[in-house]
Structure 1
Amino acid sequence: MRLTRIAVATSAVALFALAGCSAQPAATEKPAGEKAAAAALEDGKLIVATEGTYPPFSFHKDGAGELTGYDVEVARAVAEKLGVEIEFQETQWDAIFAGLDAGRFETIANQVTINDERKAKYTFSTPYTVSPGVIVVPEDNTDITSFDDLDGKTTAQSLSSNWGALAEESGATVEPVEGWAQAVALLEDGRIDATINDELTVLDYTKQHPETGVKIAAETPEAGEMAFVFTNDNDDLAEAVDGALAELAEDGTLADLGQEFFGADVSK
């Protein structure tokens, strides 16, 4: 009987100890996105490339103030969801993919259009902008009403951009520029026949500059999809960003940012 009592007492102590252990508060588990981001970002910082001269997507308030824009604020919201700091590196468009390849930053937030050529080399997030490309011409131009009409005409484009490739495919002679601001200035000065760009860029510009004297002549039959882009060895971070974007869509953040910069949800 004594042995039985000892065994029972020992069992009771063990059960009490187990119960005491289970009563301890469990360590807070990080969300999957934060864990994936932490694995991909050793220093807990997301370094993002953007132009800083591409309103309303990436620009400085009043020309020299805080960096902002639709892409910039989407990137900030993603970093917040991932629980990491964010650092922007302002880079000219024509050097931006070389910088990504060299590892100077983890991703690009600058209206990068998803296309077959880029998909063969890079990994993309889910799109956070959906918008067609458009041909922009002077208001009095009646010769260009379709992409076929660009054959033999002169456009101004960033050579490494999706729009530059489209202009060349349409038969245009392309004058290289760094971005939209230079292209539209050449168009307003009458030095080129047209330029191609994202519809949202053009609509924002004409809203800010009603005296501009340019108009949209035609648009692509299908809307383009713009997303964050990563090197193919950074799949973990791309998946984490996808998770953050899904949360931002669900909680209305993407729609709110679209309303702020465009007056509409441009994420779908």
Structure 2
Amino acid sequence: MRKGLLFILMLGLSLFLAACGSSGEGESSSDSNGGEEASNSDSKWSEIKEEGEIVVGTSGTLFPASYYPEGSDEMTGYDVEIMREVADRLGVDLKFEEYGVDSLLPAINSGRIDAAINDMEVTKDRQEQFSFSDPYKYSYSTMIVRESDLSGIETLEDLEGKKHGGGSTTVFAQIAEHFGAEIIPYDNVANDVYLRDVDNGRTDVVINDYYLQSLALEALPQFDVQLHPDLKFHPTNSAIVMPKGATELQKEINKVLQEMQDDGTLTELSKEFFGGKDASKEPEEDIQEIEGLDL
């Protein structure tokens, strides 16, 4: 079972590295119904109540947010279980539709889904096109480096000339490039490849989400790599995405999320899926904002 979970972890993290940090590719796409759907988005909550069902998009491939455990045909994960609880408290049925990460936001624009949940980072670009709930996950970026010398990196400025492993269109690659790093792109490989290459010197660093990297290191202890002990930067938050202007739906979901925050449900779910860590609250650490980089 542990081997199966490890495989899911590596696959899910690989997909996360390749896609989930995307700076917005595919977000503006829509079909011919997109404009009409956007103009009627304020009636979205009324439509959902009338149908008695909310249709939510997710990938089903992103551990530990949205995935299938080995041997199970039932999807689970932090995001999935949050959405199940939200729908239950809203008094509507929940139907999940699975999409590739780059197809989730266009599916909202086209009206094929009512909302999306898949560890979606709230960015300024996305806020111009979509409405977001209050955050249910708070995180920040960290970097995996070699244990022996921290890959020669003491500050973010030391990324200049270093080799960063990861997708070339991700937010994390944008951060690395901003500080002068060379991006070493990969195809769809498992997460152990990223860690192995930092260990053997093919690359120097992998920037990614703190919680995801923590889980990767726990699952793959055979490599002499670690999280950088001093560098914590680019605070992020994840939220449920809805059509632009869906104010009533946004209000109803926010009310439920606040209830779940107050009664400890978000904390309980986070600890279940993030190794005992509470991602539902803003981190107490001093997280460095990156100036001069518009994400």
How high is the TM-score relative to the length of structure 2?
Answer: 0.68
1:110 equivalent in alignment to 2:118? yes
Residue 201 of structure 1 and its aligned partner are, at CA, apart by: 0.8
Q: Which residue of 70, 73, 82 maps to 2:78? A: 70
Residue 131 of structure 1 and its aligned partner are, at CA, apart by: 1.3
- 1:15 corresponds in structure 2 to none
Q: Deviations over 1:134-164 (max 9, x none)?
A: 1123444522343323333333444554334
SS in 1 for 2:117: strand
What letter matches 2:218 in structure 1? K
How many residue pairs get matched? 232
SS in 2 for 1:68: coil
Q: Is the 8 A contact 1:128 1:245 kept in 2?
A: yes
Give unpaired runs (5+ residues) of structure 2.
1-42, 282-295
- 1:8 corresponds in structure 2 to none
1:84 equivalent in alignment to 2:96? no
- 1:167 corresponds in structure 2 to 176
Compared with structure 1, are the counterparts of its residues 37 and 118 closer, same or farther at alpha carbon in structure 2 (3 Å cutoff)? closer
Residue 222 of structure 1 and its aligned partner are, at CA, apart by: 5.1
Residue 74 of structure 1 and its aligned partner are, at CA, apart by: 0.9
Q: Which moved more, 1:223-232 or 1:181-190?
A: 181-190
Residue 105 of structure 1 and its aligned partner are, at CA, apart by: 1.9
Q: Could you say which structure has the larger radius of gyration?
A: 1
Q: Deviations over 1:227-258 (max 9, x none)?
A: 11222132222221111101111222111112
What letter matches 2:208 in structure 1? N
Determine which structure has the larger strand proportion and give its number.
1
1:237 equivalent in alignment to 2:249? yes
- Distance in 1 between the 2:232 and 2:264 partners? 28
Deviating 4+ runs (over 6 angstroms):
none
Q: Which moved more, 1:113-122 or 1:144-153?
A: 144-153
Residue 126 of structure 1 and its aligned partner are, at CA, apart by: 0.6
Give unpaired runs (5+ residues) of structure 1.
1-35
1:99 equivalent in alignment to 2:111? no
Compared with structure 1, are the counterparts of its residues 38 and 235 closer, same or farther at alpha carbon in structure 2 (3 Å cutoff)? closer
What letter matches 2:255 in structure 1? G
- 2:16 corresponds in structure 1 to none
Q: Is the 8 A contact 2:147 2:224 kept in 1?
A: yes
Q: Deviations over 1:189-241 (max 9, x none)?
A: 45543222111111122223332443212543353211112221322222211
Q: Which moved more, 1:140-149 or 1:51-60?
A: 140-149
Q: Is the 8 A contact 1:93 1:158 kept in 2?
A: no
Q: Which moved more, 1:56-65 or 1:197-206?
A: 56-65
Write the mapping of 1:55-204 to structure 2, written as runs, cut at 5 A. Answer: 55-62=63-70, 65-140=73-148, 141-158=150-167, 161-176=170-185, 182=190, 184-189=192-197, 191-204=202-215
Compared with structure 1, are the counterparts of its residues 215 and 131 closer, same or farther at alpha carbon in structure 2 (3 Å cutoff)? same
Q: Which moved more, 1:91-100 or 1:240-249?
A: 91-100
- Distance in 1 between the 2:252 and 2:261 partners? 14
- 1:39 corresponds in structure 2 to 46
- Distance in 2 between the 1:59 and 1:146 partners? 35
- Distance in 2 between the 1:86 and 1:94 partners? 22
Write the mapping of 1:3-14 to structure 2, written as runs, cut at 5 A. Answer: none
Compared with structure 1, are the counterparts of its residues 165 and 37 closer, same or farther at alpha carbon in structure 2 (3 Å cutoff)? same
Q: Is the 8 A contact 1:93 1:178 kept in 2?
A: no
Residue 177 of structure 1 and its aligned partner are, at CA, apart by: 5.5
Q: Is the 8 A contact 1:155 1:174 kept in 2?
A: yes
SS in 2 for 1:110: coil
Q: Is the 8 A contact 1:157 1:183 kept in 2?
A: no
1:226 equivalent in alignment to 2:238? yes
- 1:31 corresponds in structure 2 to none
1:264 equivalent in alignment to 2:272? no
- Of all paired residues, the percent bearing the same amino acid is 31
Residue 184 of structure 1 and its aligned partner are, at CA, apart by: 4.9
- Distance in 2 between the 1:99 and 1:149 partners? 40
Compared with structure 1, are the counterparts of its residues 91 and 233 closer, same or farther at alpha carbon in structure 2 (3 Å cutoff)? same
Q: Which moved more, 1:230-239 or 1:163-172?
A: 163-172
- Distance in 2 between the 1:178 and 1:238 partners? 37
- Distance in 2 between the 1:97 and 1:80 partners? 24
Residue 65 of structure 1 and its aligned partner are, at CA, apart by: 4.1
Compared with structure 1, are the counterparts of its residues 260 and 160 closer, same or farther at alpha carbon in structure 2 (3 Å cutoff)? same
